[in-house]
Every structure is written in structure tokens, then in C-alpha cells.
Structure 1
Amino acid sequence: MSGPTTIDLFAGCGGMTVGFTREGFKPILGVEFNKWAAATYAANFGVDHTWYGDINDFPDDKIPDADVVIGGPPCQGFSNLGSKDVNDPRNQLWKQYMRFVQVARPDVFVLENVQRFSAASEFQLLLAEADHGMLKDYHLEWGVLLAADYGVAQRRPRTIVIGSRKNKYKTPIKLPVRTHSRTPLSEERPWETVRSRIAGLPEKPEFTDMPASVTNFFGIDMPGVFKGVDLHFGRNPRQLSLDRYKHVPPGGGRFNVPDHLLPRCWRDKATGTTDVMGRMRWDAPSLTIRTEFYKPEKGQYLHPQWEEGREDRQVNRVITHYEASLLQDFPKDFLWVGPKTEIARQIGNAVPAGLAQAIAHQIKQHLV
């Protein structure tokens, strides 16, 4: 495989790399601290250039030259669900990202993070580095992009920063123009839908677990390698849970569940958390797929099939790992490594491949 080269930092299972390889980029280094995610990355893109370990320990003299550096430092410190603590050690890892940029001297770099990163104090420090510090050789262009606007069947916002080298580009490389919209204009297309990704899959998964399989990565025996369809397994919810699910229509949530079926914490809280115990809509994008999408109390993760008063026309279960991966825009034949909860974390933490591909397409047009 030839083409412009990429280094993927905090690579996770490789969502960004999926998008860039679709545009002909060649990954030459992937760095990831989580062993399960690193193994999934290696299974799909090659173990030879996968580095499993602490990015702080990666030596400067082993950092290769690359055309593009991509990646997203862990976002938990900035997330609405996180500590929002500017001193959280996880919020300092973007400085390691800058170290790689400084050594690899790419023409372009892409940094992605959660939506609120653009309003964080650390983001202002990032801008200061571009003004007179480690990134002073780069123009910066940034904004919050919605994955659904780029052909992903998911309403997932991400902060994207594109840095382009000043001695090669007189002006910054702009963020990609949206290609899809809720209300399309001119050449735009309608948002992709949940139906376009998961319709036709078995409504009642045949199994409740993945096949027995073990592969060695980095000298460690790990569950896998699993094919995408191996992740289409079900769960065994309690009858109380099933009784709750059948009351929730598409787009609905916990407020549709009768009081006598609600836990006390929900009965006593009449406002907030509107998407929990929610059901997806067939003909709309999903909401954000988080790392615990297999728990309906965490968000809008019930299967979209539902007809009022027709239990035979209701699919009263959460989406499967496979369905979640497709809503995250992973290929159907993507390979996975790890136990169930770790694969779910990989899926939920990933950048949707379609969004990454739109960014890669924009950058490729400008590489010189």
C-alpha cells in the first residue's frame, strides 16, 4: 500500500485510520495505551507498526517522518461526563501529541476531541503554542463538526483542529464542507439514517456471547480475533426491563414508562436525562454512541423497531455491539479483539470513520 503517510496517536481501535485509509493514506505508526484497542488496531492495520504502551515512553528517535499526524488525546477530562478539571493528567496528553508533531514535522496534523474541548482552558494553551510555541510553524483551523453532516448515521459532535505548515501553505487548510444535512441545500444529501446501517440484521440474535477464540498480541493472549458479525449477540434482560422497553416508542424515553415500572431515582426526578431508556428512530441518525451503549439506562439505545400495541412488531432489546459498530461507521468486515466491555469501549470511543474520511479527503486535495 502506497500513499501519503500517517501517524495515529491515541489511536484507539483505529476509527481515524479507517477513514484515512479509505482515502489512500498509509499508516506507518499507531500508538495506543489500551492493550485491547491496540490489538484491534493491529489486527486491522498490521502489528508491525503498532506500538502498545505509554506515549510518554515513546522515544523521539523512533518517531518517523510522516505526511500527516492524526489523533485525539483522551477526552474524559473535557467531557460533559468527566471531571472538567484542567489539571486532570488526561488533559495534559495533548502535549505529547505536540511532541510528535514537532519531531515528525508533518505537512498537516489533525487533532480531534470532544465538543467542549474548544471551550476549555487547555485549548487556549494550544492556541498559544501555535502563536509562539511548539506549533508556531503551523496555521490552525478549528471548529465543531457534526458527524451526521458527513454521511455518518449518528449525531455526534467533535472538535476538529487542522494544522497546516506555514512554509507550504499560505492560508490554513479549511475544515471540510458538509455533504449532508437535516434539510439539504443545493448539492447536499439528506442525513443518513439508522435504517441505512442496521436494517435487515436479525432482530433476535442467535447467541448471547462471542465465539471462543484466543489470539496472541504483544505477547499477551487475548479474546479474538472476532469478525463484525460475531458481535451481533444479544443479552438476557430481566422481565422488569422488558416490561419497561415495550412502553417506549421511537424517539421516546423514560418518561414514556409508567411510574410503577420506574426505579425510585427516576420517579423522584421529573426533569433531565431525557434520552435514557430511549429508543432510536429508523429514519433519523442515532444520538451519540457512547461506551456503554449496551445499557439502556445510559442513553437512546433501544432498537428502533416498535409499533404501538403490537408486541409482535416490537424489538425490545438494546442494539448489539455489531449494530453500534455500524452506526459508528466501521466496515462490516472490521476485526475486533478483547472482551465484550472492552470492545464496547473501543466502539464508543472511536471517531466515526465517515467523519475521518471527510477530513482525509479535504487534506489530500491540499497535500503538496
Structure 2
Amino acid sequence: MGLEMIDLFAGCGGMTAGFVAAGYRPVLAVEWDLHAAATYAANFGAGHVRWADIAAVEVAPRADVIIGGPPCQGFSNLGSRDVEDPRNQLWKQYLRFVREVKPAAFVIENVDRFLTSSEFGLLQAETRRSGLLAGYRLSAGLLLAADFGVPQRRKRAFVIGSRVGAIPLPGRTHEQWHGVRSVLSGLPERPARTTLPTSFVEFFGEKVPGRFKSADLHLGRNPTPLSLARYRSVPPGGGRFDVPEHLLPRCWREKKTGTTDVMGRMRWDDPSLTIRTEFYKPEKGRYLHPQWHRPITHQEAARLQGFPETFEWCGTKIEIARQIGNAVPPMLAEAIGNHVRSALTGESIEPTCRLC
């Protein structure tokens, strides 16, 4: 049984990629960022994509499921029912789609602290008889991407709302975690280029950089001799506290405590930590390659997120990095999509693994 879905705040389409792999058909995607919307359109078709402020998009298609990750800021003011309040506008719009489309289920993704916030409490309150989510039952919790075949210890909050009885979050599909070796091995030590190819494509009447293949994203940097010396001093699993004092910047020398992830190096046989939007900067986290003396490349970050090699990208280096870091890992989304589909249709769906 095929199910139709709407993706709100769709980004580059990580969540859609997983749900499509689980057998869903996207009928509408809404994304305000041009380059992210272009990447989505390059992979799933432009016909159902709306590059627009979500408030300007009319709810038209029916759908079985709505997915998306509205920003958590501002939801605390939802109770005011002030449609013009910019702090709650995005949440208002997400709930507007749910209220008007009346999908059998919806899925919300957010940062892990969302579940302990006042915003989440207000979301639960909207399921009361007079609320915007009347008739829906919610299940919520934290899911770790590594438990679903993704070589990354990325923890995120998920909420599943259902009109057909509560749908609990899925249980882990993988007892054994995959290390970064499963996706990083075999790529060249030295990327051949530091810039994207000169290429443009048109989407929504606008010219944007793209379409770029996965191999186009294996981009290097030009570190200074000092940066390279720092990289070389960090062992597998190590971080800034392994860097000799004479190589440290003043701010690190004067701060003897704090996170160990800064200037951190991955281990081949462990999952990475969370891939964020500035993964190409070792000073931002544990982003040094497990073997080579360089940060991971855009292609490697996309692999750690679980994007297939066939995925195409639009935008500048910085914009594509932001798309990669903000995405829901497709393999995690696929597991959620299969779980929801099974609950809605009664189908028995065996989990799959692309890396096994």
C-alpha cells in the first residue's frame, strides 16, 4: 500500500529520502532556503516543491503522513493564539497543515533538549479536546542514529502523532554500531580540489550552483603549517588536550578544562559524533579524519549522514555543508517511515541495512 507524504521545513531532503526509501510518495515539500530547496528538487523533482515562506503556501494536497522539523524557538508563545507573533509563526504553520490535511500520522524531529522544554509541554497540551491537535495521540522520545545503521552518534528528539491510536517510537534495528570505516575507507587521502566545479542549474526561475555529484564534494582545504602541526599531534580518539602547549592558541592555553571534542580525531571503528554544519573546521568539534591529517570532506560528511552516493547537491560549499549538517540521516528516517507505515497499514516490514 503506497502512502503519500508532505515534508515541511524540508531542507535538502534527508527525511524525504528515508521516507521515499520506505515506500512513500512526496506530494508537497516546503522549504524557504533556495539552495536547500534546489537540492531537494534535484533529487525528488521540482513539481511538488514550494520554495517559499510556509505561511504563503496554501494547503492543498491530501496526505497520509506529514513530516518535518519546525524550529523550536517561539513555540512557547503558541498559547497566545496570536497568528502575527513571529516567534510562534513557524509552529503555527506546521500545526495548520496538520489541522487542515488531517493526516493519519505526523512526525516531528527536533533537538534532544526539546523533550524537556516548555515548548514540548505546550505541544502535548494541544491534543486536548479544544486544541489544535485534538484527536491525535503523541509518542515521543530520543533516537540515536547509530542504533539504526548510521555510523554516527547523533541523538535527536522525535514526536509521532497519530489519529489511529498511539504509535510508539521504533526500537533499534542494529545491535552493533557501524564505525566510520564503513563509509570513509577507500576515499583518497588528498582531495584533488578545494573548490566545487563551475556549474549552474536553474530551479524555481533562479540560477544556483549545481548539480554536484558526490565525488565533487571531496574537497580539501589549505591548512597553515601551524594548523597542520596541530592536526599531526592528535592521536585517534584524541583532541585539543593532546596538542603541545606551544602549538595551542592563547584561548586554549588559558582554558585548561572544557570539551575534549575540539580538534578531535575520529576512530576508524567507532561511529562519529554528531555531524554539524561546520564539520570542515576541526576547531569546531571531532572532525579530523581518523587517519589522515585533515578534516573530513563534504563527501565524507554526507556519507557519515547516510546519504547515498547518487544524491546530488546544489549551492556553495558553505551552503551544502549547512544542508548536510542540518539533515535527518536518511537511514534513520527510513526506519521511522517503515515503522509508521507498518502501524498504519498492518504490513510487516523487515529492517534493511545498506552497510551490512
Equivalent of 1:347, from 300, 321, 324? 324
Match of 1:144 in 2: 142
1:167-191 per-position Cα deviation (integer Å, ceiling 9, x unaligned): xx2x3111111122xxxxxxxx310
Match of 2:228 in 1: 242
Task: Give the CA deviation at 1:74.
Answer: 2.6
2:101 & 2:183 partners in 1: Cα distance? 37
2:43 match: secondary structure:
helix
1:266 match: secondary structure:
helix
Task: Give the CA deviation at 1:121.
Answer: 1.1
- 1:23 equivalent to 2:9? Answer no
- 1:3 equivalent to 2:6? Answer no
1:303-355 per-position Cα deviation (integer Å, ceiling 9, x unaligned): 001xxxxxxxxx10000000000000111110000000000000000001111
Match of 2:349 in 1: none
Match of 2:238 in 1: 252
Q: Unpaired segments of 5 or more residues in structure 2?
A: 78-84, 346-356
In the alignment, is the contact (CA less than 8 A) between 1:74 and 1:90 conserved in 2? no
In the alignment, is the contact (CA less than 8 A) between 1:6 and 1:68 conserved in 2? yes
Equivalent of 1:207, from 167, 176, 193? 193
Equivalent of 1:262, from 248, 258, 270? 248
2:210 & 2:335 partners in 1: Cα distance? 30
1:209 match: secondary structure:
coil
2:277 & 2:162 partners in 1: Cα distance? 32
TM-score where L is the length of structure 2: 0.92
In the alignment, is the contact (CA less than 8 A) between 1:31 and 1:55 conserved in 2? yes
Identity of aligned residues (%): 63
Match of 1:70 in 2: 67
1:227-256 per-position Cα deviation (integer Å, ceiling 9, x unaligned): 111101111111100000001011111000
1:56 & 1:134 partners in 2: Cα distance? 17
1:96 & 1:265 partners in 2: Cα distance? 43
Match of 2:170 in 1: 176
2:87 & 2:54 partners in 1: Cα distance? 12
The 5 Å alignment of 1:267-286 reads 267-286=253-272
2:224 & 2:206 partners in 1: Cα distance? 35
1:352 & 1:148 partners in 2: Cα distance? 10
Match of 1:185 in 2: none
How large is the Cα RMSD of the aligned pairs? 1.6
Counterpart residue type for residue 335 of structure 2? A
Higher strand share: 1
2:113 & 2:151 partners in 1: Cα distance? 22
Task: Give the CA deviation at 1:155.
Answer: 0.4
In the alignment, is the contact (CA less than 8 A) between 2:76 and 2:122 conserved in 1? no
In the alignment, is the contact (CA less than 8 A) between 2:150 and 2:331 conserved in 1? yes
1:31 match: secondary structure:
strand
Match of 1:47 in 2: 46
Equivalent of 2:276, from 290, 293, 301? 290
1:93 & 1:157 partners in 2: Cα distance? 23
- 1:157 equivalent to 2:155? Answer yes
Query: 1:301/1:91 Cα in 2 relative to 1: closer, same or farther (>3 Å)?
Result: farther
Tell me how many residue pairs correspond in the alignment: 337
1:90 & 1:352 partners in 2: Cα distance? 27
1:140-184 per-position Cα deviation (integer Å, ceiling 9, x unaligned): 11101111111110001110000111xxx2x3111111122xxxx
TM-score where L is the length of structure 1: 0.89
Q: Unpaired segments of 5 or more residues in structure 1?
A: 79-84, 181-188, 306-314
1:71 & 1:284 partners in 2: Cα distance? 29
Query: 1:91/1:157 Cα in 2 relative to 1: closer, same or farther (>3 Å)?
Result: farther
Task: Give the CA deviation at 1:208.
Answer: 1.1
- 1:106 equivalent to 2:103? Answer yes
Equivalent of 1:119, from 113, 116, 120? 116
1:112 match: secondary structure:
strand
Task: Give the CA deviation at 1:92.
Answer: 4.7
1:86 & 1:123 partners in 2: Cα distance? 9
Query: 1:92/1:272 Cα in 2 relative to 1: closer, same or farther (>3 Å)?
Result: farther
1:286 match: secondary structure:
coil
1:220 & 1:281 partners in 2: Cα distance? 42
1:120-142 per-position Cα deviation (integer Å, ceiling 9, x unaligned): 11111100101231111111111
Query: 1:225/1:174 Cα in 2 relative to 1: closer, same or farther (>3 Å)?
Result: same
Counterpart residue type for residue 71 of structure 1? G
Match of 2:338 in 1: 361
1:155 match: secondary structure:
coil
Match of 2:203 in 1: 217
1:47 match: secondary structure:
coil
1:246 match: secondary structure:
helix
Match of 2:351 in 1: none
In the alignment, is the contact (CA less than 8 A) between 1:74 and 1:91 conserved in 2? no
1:205-226 per-position Cα deviation (integer Å, ceiling 9, x unaligned): 1111111101111111110000
Task: Give the CA deviation at 1:86.
Answer: 5.0
